[in-house]
Amino acid sequence: MNFQDSRLIRALRREPTDRTPVWFMRQAGRYLPGYQRIRAGMEFLELCKNPELASEVTVEPLEVLDVDAVIIFSDILVPLEAMGLPVEFGDRGPCMSQPLTDRAGIDRLSIPDPVEETGFVMDVIRATHQRVQGKVPVLGFAGAPWTLACYALEGSPSRTFAAAQRMVYESPADLHRLMEKLADTVTSYLLAQVEAGANAIQLFDSWGGMLGHQAFEEFSLRYCRRIMEGLDGCGVPRILFIRGAASHLKQISRMVDEVGIEAVSLDEMTRPQQALDIFGDRCALQGNMPPQALFAPEESIRQRVRDLLDVFGDHPGHVFNLGHGILPPTPVDSLRAVVDEIRAPR
Amino acid sequence: MNFQDSRLIRALRREPTDRTPVWFMRQAGRYLPGYQRIRAGMEFLELCKNPELASEVTVEPLEVLDVDAVIIFSDILVPLEAMGLPVEFGDRGPCMSQPLTDRAGIDRLSIPDPVEETGFVMDVIRATHQRVQGKVPVLGFAGAPWTLACYALEGSPSRTFAAAQRMVYESPADLHRLMEKLADTVTSYLLAQVEAGANAIQLFDSWGGMLGHQAFEEFSLRYCRRIMEGLDGCGVPRILFIRGAASHLKQISRMVDEVGIEAVSLDEMTRPQQALDIFGDRCALQGNMPPQALFAPEESIRQRVRDLLDVFGDHPGHVFNLGHGILPPTPVDSLRAVVDEIRAPR
């Protein structure tokens, strides 16, 4: 099948589809039995670097949930490791063992050749295509510069990312230098994913929303833009996801217009009607269902799916997804109910 | 002095003042040398329960920074302990040793008599008044029900408060029962503070912004409203602070109109011009300076203060404050520069 004709890619281009496409952020993850089996034998990053098993994990949601796309199993910290920041394993997943502390550390970071340094990611994409055999498109992804900077400066996941937040004001020039290197790294990393066969890419800025409104524009949005501009003309749709940005939709919308970004993914804090009012049909809209809503009884889940289909109903580029990643204890049956409800005749 | 004539209380009532009043959230805290000295000898909650020392800590920012108000030293978890949930000390401050896990636990919670069970807080207010001798007003405060529920259900501070977030969808009726008890507890707790001499009160919903937009209205805003309605006619201005609510300003504004709330405190994610457009001069507006901006060089800090004074300049009820609490490593001189710049002739 030509991926241009797939439900997801058509929706991302705002072309008519037979029904709303659905995939889930973090759909290749801990809620799945096959994933758990494989992870029991190896560490997270080890799995990321094993194309055979990473692609097996990548396609499991296709078999279990019958989603309309797969997203490669990987981690946003992969490019940081290639830049020269060692990644290790804490209790709560991958983290940096030697966080950046000064300008010298920033200056030492390389801008890696994505194929030479992170070729295993491209291998995962190719291995995944072999497994899905044209059935659905394969998504690539990367973390946005601000989110990567949070980890690079803080080390481990944090409630506040105080080091990165402080640097915004204490040494903004150094932070900009870091952000430039991250943006260049992520741009070539995503271009390599497209080259390897990614049919669409998503840029994740998980922590953009914690910045003050001026810092948001200066450090989150600006570098997302730089990457999206760098991908212009790459031939696949670009999805922008900035978590916590519900009060910045107008600024994002302006960027969508100026850069021609194909799709915006909305977190669950965003009012869908407000997003529709602001973005109109000038880009595809994805997401918005609260990940926690999957713990509700099935009938509530189905009702919520219907409500979201109703509100986005006439939008030519609606992609069903959550407002954030699937939570590890989520019941598989809840996700099945979502997919089933989307496909129910209406 | 009659507190009705103080700069802060006049500004909260949108009456003319000689200059913009200033105080800082978490101004009685770890950045202060006197506070550190006292805390070296006792645990956090022990200090909360010692009116002599808690009032000493409360007035230290008045002496060190010459702010226009003091806010009592206490902790938002105090009422939870009185409801029957033991509070203890972890590495990162107070937390709950036995988080709520089920409906039975919720049903067991009492709605404490604030004077009998938490009379030490009222004693802190009285002892503080003795120390400030009418020089500045004394603020009381409480955590909002959603934020208290996050701690009651999770135990310790968390990046996600997954237990509370899950309960929103999994057992909303039980959560509503908990929220009602929390709202009733907080209402009588704040009324007791006013009775003891608090000249204004602030309600803190630190985690409201993490809720999906529908859950925000159902669980955060609704119970803030219930408390604010319960304080109607209590004779002192009410300040509402919901962190992460920049995309909910219209909903908050509607509540301000319907309930007559005197003041709204804005986090640093909020665009001040948007807040001015939405709230107009129908309530006082407080806050908005990023706490991390206090790590900038002094001239940048002063410029930011001038920018904020400019944008809020004509608003009849502007109260200078941060978008969140003072961070522990903040230099005292940065805060002094803020106060000094506000008082500079312009």
Summarize pLDDT for A98-133 with one digit per residue, the tens: 999 999 999 999 999 999 999 999 999 999 999 999
Helix (H) or strand (E) holding B326: none
Q: How many domains does one find in chain A?
A: 1
Cβ–Cβ contacts within 10 Å for residue B73, how many?
Answer: 28
- Cβ of B269 and A216 within 8 Å? yes
The answer to whether residue B246 neighbours chain A at the CB level (below 8 Å) is yes
Query: Considering CB atoms only, which of B157, B166, B294 is closest to A292?
Result: B166
Strand partners, A318: A285
Instruction: State the CB neighbour count (10 A cutoff) for residue A36.
Output: 12
Residues 6+ apart with CB under 8 A from A139: A23, A69, A70, A71, A72, A198, A199, A200, A201, A202
Mean pLDDT along residues A256-264: 98
pLDDT at position A319 over 90: yes
Note whether A300 contacts B: Cβ–Cβ < 8 A: yes
Q: Which residue has the tokens 């903004």?
A: A172
Q: What's the order of all strands across the beta sheet hosting B263-266?
A: B70-71, B138-143, B200-205, B238-242, B263-266, B284-287, B318-319
Give the contacts of B277 (CB within 8 A, at least 6 positions apart): none
pLDDT at A1 over 70: no
Written as one letter, the residue type at A202 is Q
Residue B131 pLDDT > 70: yes
- For residue B133, the model assigns a pLDDT of 95
pLDDT at B202: 98
pLDDT of residue B75 exceeding 80, the answer is yes
pLDDT confidence of residue A346: 81
Q: What type of residue sits at position A41?
A: G
Give B296's contacts (C-beta < 8 A, 6+ positions apart): A169, A170, B304, B334
Residue B1 has pLDDT above 80, yes or no: no
Q: Per residue in B100-113, pLDDT tens?
A: 999 999 999 999 99
Contact A211 B300 (CB under 8 A): no
Q: Tell me what percent of the residues of chain B surpass a pLDDT of 70.
A: 99
Ramachandran region of residue A280, left (φ > 0), alpha (ψ -120 to 50) or beta? left
Q: Is A44 helix (H, G, I), strand (E, B) or coil?
A: helix
- Does the annotation count B18 as an active-site position? no
pLDDT at residue A91 greater than cutoff 90? no
A292 contacts B268? CB cut-off 8 A:
no
Instruction: Report the pLDDT value the prediction gives residue A88, as an integer from 0 to 100.
Output: 87
User: Is B292 in contact with A168 (Cβ distance < 8 A)?
Assistant: yes
- Residue of A215, A227, A150 lying closest to A186 (CA atoms): A227
Q: Which residue of A has its CA nearest to B209?
A: A269
CB A318: neighbour CB atoms within 10 A? 26
- Name the band, by pLDDT with cuts 50, 70 and 90, for residue B155: confident
Least confident of A92-106, B24-38, B259-273: A92-106
Tens-place pLDDT, residues A130-151: 999 999 999 999 999 999 999 9
Contact A334, A301 (CB under 8 A): yes
**Structure token digits, residue A331:** 């019941």
pLDDT score for B280: 97
Within a 13 Å sphere around the CA of B142, how many CA atoms are in the beta-carbon half? 33
- Which of B31, B159, B271, B311 is most worth mutating to test chain A (most A CB atoms within 10 A of its CB)? B271
Q: Which residues of B touch A165 (CB under 8 A)?
A: 292
- On the 0-12 / 13-18 / 19+ scale of CB atoms within 10 A, B149 is buried
The predicted pLDDT at position A274 comes to 97
Of B168, B211, B213, the CB nearest to A270: B213
- The Cα of A275 is separated from the nearest Cα of chain B by a number of Å equal to 11
Interface test with A, best of B153, B159, B166 (most A CBs within 10 A): B166
**Chain-centroid distance, C-alpha A87:** 20
> Worst-scoring range by mean pLDDT, A20-24, A84-88, A262-266, B252-256?
A84-88
Of these residues, B14, B35, B68, B151, which one is catalytic? B151
Mark yes or no for CB contact A169/B292 under 8 Å: yes
**Average pLDDT of chain A to the nearest whole number:** 96
Min Cα separation B184/chain A (Å):
27
- A95-99, A324-328, B273-277, range with the lowest pLDDT: A95-99
Interface test with A, best of B253, B269, B294, B302 (most A CBs within 10 A): B269
Q: Is B166 a known active-site residue?
A: no
Give the model's pLDDT for residue A95: 85
Q: Annotated catalytic residue: which of A35, A151, A189, A223?
A: A151
Which SS3 state, helix, strand or coil, does residue B98 take?
Answer: coil
Half-sphere exposure at residue A62, Cβ-oriented, CA atoms within 13 angstroms: 22
DSSP character for B327?
P
**Gyration radius of chain A over CA positions:** 19
Residues 6+ apart with CB under 8 A from B76: B141, B142, B143, B147, B148, B151, B204, B206
* Residues of A in Cβ contact (< 8 Å) with B162: 292, 327
CB count in 10 Å sphere of residue A34: 15
DSSP β-bridge partners for residue A10: none
Per the CB < 8 A criterion, the answer to whether A11 and A284 are in contact is yes
Chain-chain contact of A269 with B327 (C-beta, under 8 angstroms): no
Tokens representing residue B25 in the block: 């959230």
Nearest-5° Cα angle at A338, A336 to A342: 115
CA–CA distance, A327 with A323 (Å, rounded to integer): 11
pLDDT of residue B293: 98
pLDDT at position A93 over 80: no
Domain that holds residue A262: 3-343
Structure tokens at B319: 């109260």
Residue B246: list chain A partners with CB under 8 A.
Answer: 213, 246-247
Answer whether B213 sits within 8 Å of A247, measured CB to CB: no
- What is the pLDDT at residue B94? 78
CATH (domain of B235): 3.20.20.210
Closest CA in chain B for residue A298: B170
H/E element holding A259? helix A249-259
pLDDT tens, position by position, A210-250? 999 999 999 999 999 999 999 999 999 999 999 999 999 99
**H or E segment at A140?**
strand A138-143
pLDDT at site B90: 72
Amino acid identity, position A303: Q
Cβ separation of B295 and A211 shorter than 8 Å? no
Tell me A294's DSSP state. G
What pLDDT, on the 0 to 100 scale, is given for residue B302? Answer: 98
Q: Do residues B262 and B268 touch, judged by C-beta distance below 8 A?
A: no
| Closest residue in A to B171 (Cα–Cα) | A296
In the predicted model, what is the mean pLDDT of residues B116-142?
98
B150 close to A (CB below 8 A): no
Best A166, A211, A243, A288 member to test B by mutation, with max B CBs in 10 Å, is: A166
Q: Give the mean pLDDT of A252-265.
A: 98
| C-alpha span between A202 and A147 (Å, rounded) | 14
Contacts of B322 by beta carbon, 8 Å cutoff, 6+ apart:
B24, B25, B268, B287, B288, B289, B290, B291, B294
Question: Over 70: is that where the pLDDT of B295 sits?
Answer: yes
Supply the pLDDT for residue A18: 95
CA–chain centroid gap for B130, Å, is: 22
Residues B79-106 pLDDT 10s: 999 999 999 877 777 788 899 999 999 9
